[in-house]
Amino acid sequence: MIRKILIANRGEIAVRVIRACAEMDIRSVAIFSEADRFALHVKKADEAYGIGSDELAGYLNPHRIVNLAVETGCDAVHPGYGFLAENPELAAACAARGLIFIGPEADTIRLMGDKSEARRAMAAAGVPITPGSAGNLESLEAALAEAARIGYPVMLKATSGGGGRGIRRCDNPQELKQNYRRVISEAQKAFGRAEVFLEKYIPAPRHIEVQVLGDHYGNVVHLYERDCSIQRRNQKLIELAPSPQLTAEQRQQVGRLAVQAARAAHYRNAGTVEFLFSATGEFYFMEMNTRIQVEHTITEEITGLDIVKEQIRIADGQPLSFRQEDVQINGYAMQFRINAEDPKNDFLPSYGRITRYYAPGGPGVRIDTAIYTGYEIPPYYDSLCAKVIVRGRTWEELLARGRRVLGDIAIGGVRTTLPFYRKILEHPEFQSGRFDTGFLQEHPELLNYSLKQGHDEAALAVAAAIAAHVGL
């Protein structure tokens, strides 16, 4: 049985895994760079070990991480998301040293990580894919010929891409020529591979993804869908579960497709199957993320299931603790990714010291974060400060709770996306529950907000008064 887990990550996801371990009576081991010496995951874990002064090298070295796990007596490694989470080398290194990797097998990660291969596998399994190139493109000339066959606009994508990187829309041959080398360069720098492929652009799509779980005994279930259409440059900002844009029949259809995709990949552990949902009602497979997702929280809120605990149980050889018919949706949930970025300055990162942090509370509120008052946000990592999750029995209650919570929370010392999200929640189109991935691009006026007229100063004043009262 798993009794000790090394968490090969940092920040809020490391804290999230540590909390699951604590509830399961499993010892947790944190790793940290010198820049993360005072991070919350280091403070929360049962044990913590430095991995060097370099800000990134330690988190990206699978063999060093596995050696440390063995040296500290761990049974398993949890990769979190980002860093090595979708790197088959870490999974393979764990298997070679007799450690349990809390995720799918290396071969599955490798298959789904190559988007051209994943598309072929899904097409063979009968899962619909967007029209596109049959494989990787060997040259710009091949890309131009393929785009002419598919028809513009097209999406040029890195085969190993993810997180919104390595993707460009091309509306004509000139744009394809301009973006071809750029995407290849991005792919090489970010993913170590330069392969690219083409897909037909789907106009006004919704981004719908489905959480799946598979065990070692052939059981595969879905936990319903999330709507991630509120995004900027392919980066998700606000996520919803379930999608307010699907009918009951469409919800069942996309759930079946996700299970079909997971079975085709012989998937074990937690994963996410991502789809584009067209304006005319078709679902198209986009990719499969072979790890825990940032937005897994809202699925937990509407189903009452703990996905991280299920990950650990599955990795430990246990069968799924429930059947598909046991999974029920209870209300709606919404997650805001509070990033240390300045929306008014092209979302430029805003790193620095948190001078004041005031967390909201009340019914239906959850905060997953690794910040605290006095914490210094380092400039070397993702700008995520906190995930603010709200749940409501109805869509209307969810919106009201979201507005209230965004008015309560305050983060001082850095610029954040908080006031931007407040404006989004005020927009009638968002409130109607009818929007697509072009929502933010179509509404640049959402950036016209005033901090002085917002809630930041009032909330910070309240936080300061409370701190003074308790002698902080």
Catalytic residue IDs: 291
Task: Please name every residue paired with 215 in a beta bridge, in sequence order, or none if there are none.
Answer: none
Nearest to 10 by CA among 71, 78, 64: 78
**Tokens read off for 74:** 């761990």
User: Token pair of 112, please?
Assistant: 């789904």
The angle formed by the CA atoms of residues 281, 286 and 287, to the nearest 5 degrees, is: 145
Q: Which helix (H) or strand (E) holds 231?
A: strand 220-232
Collapse the DSSP code of 22 into the 3-class scheme (helix H, G, I; strand E, B; otherwise coil) and give the result: helix
Q: Give the dihedral of Cα atoms 27, 101, 336, 10; nearest 10 deg.
A: 60
> Residue ranges of the alpha helices (H) in 24-164?
40-44, 62-71, 88-96, 106-113, 115-124, 140-150
Q: Is 26 in a helix, a strand, or coil?
A: coil
Query: Phi first, then psi: what are they for 376, rounded to 5°?
Result: -100, 115
Q: Is the dihedral of CA 66, 69, 73, 79 positive or negative?
A: negative
The answer to whether the CB of 385 falls within 8 A of the CB of 408 is no
In contact, 312 and 102? CB cutoff 8 Å: yes
Q: CA torsion, points 414, 419, 421, 423, in degrees to nearest 10? A: -160
What is the Cα–Cα distance from 332 to 317, expressed in whole angstroms? 32
Measured between alpha carbons, how far is 222 from 3 in angstroms, rounded to an integer?
Answer: 28
DSSP label of 333: E
CA distance 25 to 176: 54
Give the burial class of 60: count Cβ atoms within 10 A of its Cβ; 0-12 exposed, 13-18 middle, 19 or more buried.
middle
Nearest-angstrom CA–CA distance, 86 and 211: 16
- In angstroms, the CA 123 to CA 307 distance is 28
